[in-house]
């Protein structure tokens, strides 16, 4: 049987050429088996050399056939890349856009940032840093606006009381 528990080695599947990623995966499995004490140093070296020289899945299967962790019977699975949350991108863009569009982009930066963080927590998408950047820029602009208004009112009130004095 093939190392993945699939078709027999003599079938057509074992004759498919192995890729560098397949050989690297087998090398990782051999390293794990060696670190667990399942292979001696000499046996590890021999198997590693055979794995790196393997041309087909059948060759790779023979290298790891007696190990508990088996090589996959099929072509290498491509790991999916987690996508970046769209609201996180929008939040960061609006946060930066405040410097161009002014306060019009402040509220969307905050709203999109909170929406993105909630979705990222649920789905595991990427973009937490972008969402946080949008939130920091949005709330930072709100805080600066409140400080500016408070200072302006204080200055105006101080000026008004100085004018009314005889």
Count CB atoms within 10 A of the CB of residue 118.
Answer: 13
Residue 76, Ramachandran bin (φ over 0: left; ψ between -120 and 50: alpha; else beta):
beta
CB count within 10 Å of CB 24 equals 13
27 contacts 48 by C-beta, under 8 angstroms: yes
- Give the model confidence (pLDDT) of 29-54 as tens digits: 888 888 888 889 999 999 999 999 99
Q: Is 4 left (phi over 0), alpha (psi -120 to 50) or beta?
A: alpha
Evaluated on CA atoms 9, 13, 18, 24, the torsion sign reads negative
Task: Give the pTM.
Answer: 0.49
Q: What is the pLDDT along the chain (166 residues), one digit of tens a residue?
A: 444 444 444 455 668 898 888 899 988 888 888 888 888 999 999 999 999 999 998 898 898 888 875 545 455 555 667 789 999 999 999 999 998 988 889 999 999 999 999 999 988 889 999 999 999 999 999 999 999 999 999 999 888 776 655 5
Structural contact between residues 63 and 54, judged by C-beta atoms closer than 8 angstroms? yes
- Dihedral sign computed on CA atoms, order 127, 129, 135, 137: negative
């Amino acid at each position: 049987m093939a190392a993945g528990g699939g078709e027999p080695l003599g079938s057509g599947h074992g004759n498919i050429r192995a890729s560098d990623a397949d050989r690297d995966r087998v090398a990782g499995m051999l390293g794990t088996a060696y670190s667990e004490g399942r292979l001696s140093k000499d046996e590890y070296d021999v198997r590693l050399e055979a794995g790196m020289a393997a041309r087909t899945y059948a060759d790779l299967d023979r290298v790891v056939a007696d190990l508990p962790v088996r090589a996959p019977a099929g072509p290498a699975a491509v790991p999916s890349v987690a996508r970046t949350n769209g609201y996180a991108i929008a939040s960061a863009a609006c946060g930066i856009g405040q410097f161009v569009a002014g306060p019009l982009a402040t509220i969307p930066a905050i709203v999109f940032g909170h929406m993105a963080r909630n979705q990222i927590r649920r789905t595991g998408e990427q973009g937490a840093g972008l969402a946080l950047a949008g939130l920091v820029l949005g709330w930072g602009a709100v805080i600066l606006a409140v400080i500016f208004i408070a200072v302006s009112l204080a200055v105006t009130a101080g000026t008004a009381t100085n004018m009314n004095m005889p």
